[in-house]
Amino acid sequence: MSAPVTGGRHSRRTILALAAGAAGAAGVAATPGAADAHETPGEGWTGSWAAVPTTVPPGDPTVLSARTVRHVVHLSLGGDRLRVRLTNEFGTAPLVVGEVRVARRLGSGAATTTVPGTDRRVTFGGRGAVTVPAGAPMVSDPVALRVPDGSDLTVSIYLPGPTPVTTLAAFAFQENVVADGNVTAAARLTPVATVTQNLFLSGVSVRRHAPAIVAFGDSITNGANTRTNANHRWPDLLAARLRGAGLDRGVVNLGVSGNRLLHDPDPPAGSDAVAYAAYFGQSGLRRFDRDVLAQPGARHLIVLLGINDLGHPGTTAPASETVTAADLIGGHRQLIARARQAGMRVHGGTILPCQGDTFGFFSPENERKRREVNRWIREGGEYDGIADFDAVMRDPAQPLRLNPAYDSGDHLHPNDTGMAVMAAAVPLRFFRGHAS
């Protein structure tokens, strides 16, 4: 969907209560020691945090040189070791990284300060510096650091030479910071810039014998219009519900603002969308293997895609890319088939209403298609389970619209309270049992 706007603020207590028993994990002492490049055969790894990499719009990219980028990532699941995944998947030249370090984050807000005694060097094949080939990711060696469930981790990446930012997740809803020099090990940084993007970083997994749940979607899953630094995206709040219920499950957010199931970004020449459509990411069908099947421990998939396929043609994409309900159902069937081939259980999320939206998505014809796709999701019997987001998010008095209490103001994206309602609409029974 289009670039997000700032949503309203809501009480954190209210948000977590609506998410039905969310609970943060108590602090756990860090394990001393440097990165450990050795693994025990058969040890389990589970995705705990993720961000979807995209390319950047045409034009001169931002260039960083002799700078440290410190990210903060909110871990859904903890463990006694972790691994970091870097990404240069849209780069056309090798990405030279001078050093990467991780630490527990101290405080809140921007990612500036770390917990004393938790700083660890990250290595790749035993080396601290790494060159990531163009078009490729790079997974680190295991790092000996005990991190609690629901905790925040900083990942500091030093870029020694002129580095064009060609691969990023554009909408992080988290303040990350840029500082001069190699200050990856500093307990506190003095930022020269603050960005709400994830640069060259796409995942953190933890050593844990637990399955991961993948939330696969667009800006509504990505967290558009939620409060920055609050971790109020519905997958975050689902992870909190799982922790409160005593279920050890990783939750990774693979939502991309503006993402479509069937088409890559294709802004009409000369339109405003040329300046931002690249951030919408490759189609769900195209990115599925990279983003979903590559997630460590992935056992469950929750799909919420389709509203942009309906709304973009004629707005930020050519009218020739107009899709039918049958087209969308066919795309969903592909996701189901490919996930099941990988041994995953697949759950469908119904598409939210959007009458009156500020992006021009709504039309009687698009509404007819939305209802047809939702009917198939609910009644088709092809998904293993249903999260009926439409049912809980619509206005009871005007069911083609979002409930005003859950509306961020653009009549398309939920606010923080709405995100909690969505998280509460995902049945936890999907994830219980030994096979889950």
CATH number for the domain that contains residue 407? 3.40.50.1110
What are the tens digits of pLDDT across the range 34-74?
A: 344 455 544 699 999 999 999 999 999 999 999 999 999 99
Query: According to the model, what pLDDT value does residue 108 have?
Result: 80
Report if residue 133 sits inside a domain: yes
pLDDT-derived band at 26, boundaries 50, 70, 90: very low
Residue 422: C-alpha distances to residues 16, 67, 133, 238, 250 (Å): 12, 39, 39, 9, 18
Same domain, 227 and 262: yes
Q: Are residue 251 and residue 187 in the same domain, yes or no?
A: no
pLDDT at 170: 98
Looking at 184, 205, 226, which one is the last position of a domain?
205
Q: What is the pLDDT of residue 107?
A: 86
pLDDT at 33 over 50: no
pLDDT at 29 over 60: no
Percentage, residues of the chain above pLDDT 90: 88
CA angle 37, 213, 206 (to 5 degrees): 20
Q: Who's near 114: CB < 8 A, 6+ residues apart? A: 103, 104, 105, 106, 154, 187, 188
pLDDT band at 109 (very low <50, low <70, confident <90, very high): confident
Q: Where are the alpha helices (DSSP H) in 172-258?
A: 219-222, 234-244
Residue 264 and residue 185 share a domain: no
Q: What is the mean pLDDT of residues 160-166?
A: 98
Let me know whether 361 and 216 are in one domain. yes
In a domain, 11, yes or no: no
Two structure tokens written together for 163: 């580095």
Could you tell me if 263 and 184 lie in one domain?
A: no
Give the mean pLDDT of 288-294: 97
**Mean pLDDT for the stretch of residues 127-146:** 98
Range 220-235 average pLDDT: 98
42 in any annotated domain: no
Q: CA-CA distance, 202 to 294, in Å (whole number)?
A: 11
Residue 256 pLDDT > 80: yes
Name the maximum alpha-carbon separation found in the chain.
61
pLDDT at 62: 97
Nearest to 302 by CA among 367, 362, 233: 233
Is the confidence at residue 230, as pLDDT, over 60?
Answer: yes
**Is residue 32, in this structure, part of any structural domain at all?**
no
Q: Which candidate, 322, 318, 328, places its Cα nearest to that of 349?
A: 328
Residue 231: which domain range? 211-428
**Cα separation, 318 vs 87, whole angstroms:** 30
Quick one: average pLDDT of 309-328? 97
Would you place residue 19 in the very low, low, confident or very high pLDDT band (cuts 50, 70, 90)? low
Residues 221, 188, single domain; the answer is no
Q: Does residue 113 form part of some domain?
A: yes
Matching residue, tokens 């796709």: 373
Question: Is pLDDT at 251 greater than 70 in this prediction?
Answer: yes
Residue 14 in domain: no
**pLDDT, position 208:** 96
Residues 275 and 308 in one domain: yes
Residues 185 and 221 in one domain: no
Indicate the range of 22-26, 211-215, 253-257, 420-424 predicted with least confidence.
22-26
Residue 312 CB neighbours (<10 A): 30
- Cβ atoms of 6 and 114 closer than 8 Å: no
Q: If you count DSSP H runs as helices and E runs as strands, how many of each does the chain have, helices first? A: 9, 21
Is there a domain that residue 226 lies in?
yes
**What pLDDT shows up at residue 119?**
98
The answer to the question of residue 38 being in a domain is no
Q: Of the candidates 175, 205, 235, which is a domain's last residue?
A: 205
- pLDDT attached to residue 112: 81
Instruction: Please say which residue of 205, 232, 256 terminates a domain.
Output: 205
State the pLDDT confidence band at 18, using cuts at 50, 70 and 90.
low
**In the prediction, which pLDDT does 96 show?**
98
Mean pLDDT rounded to a whole number for the chain: 91
Please tell me the least confidently modeled range out of 29-38, 208-217, 309-318, 409-418: 29-38
Same-domain status, 74 and 180: yes
pLDDT of res. 110: 75
Average pLDDT of the residues in 388-412? 98
Give the pLDDT band (50/70/90) at residue 7.
very low
Q: Domain count of the chain?
A: 2
Tokens of 373: 């796709």
Which is more confident, 435 or 231?
Answer: 231
Is residue 178 located within the same domain as residue 281? no
Q: For residue 378, give the H/E element and its range.
A: helix 364-379
Statement to judge: residues 321 and 398 lie in one domain: yes
Does residue 81 share a domain with residue 141?
A: yes
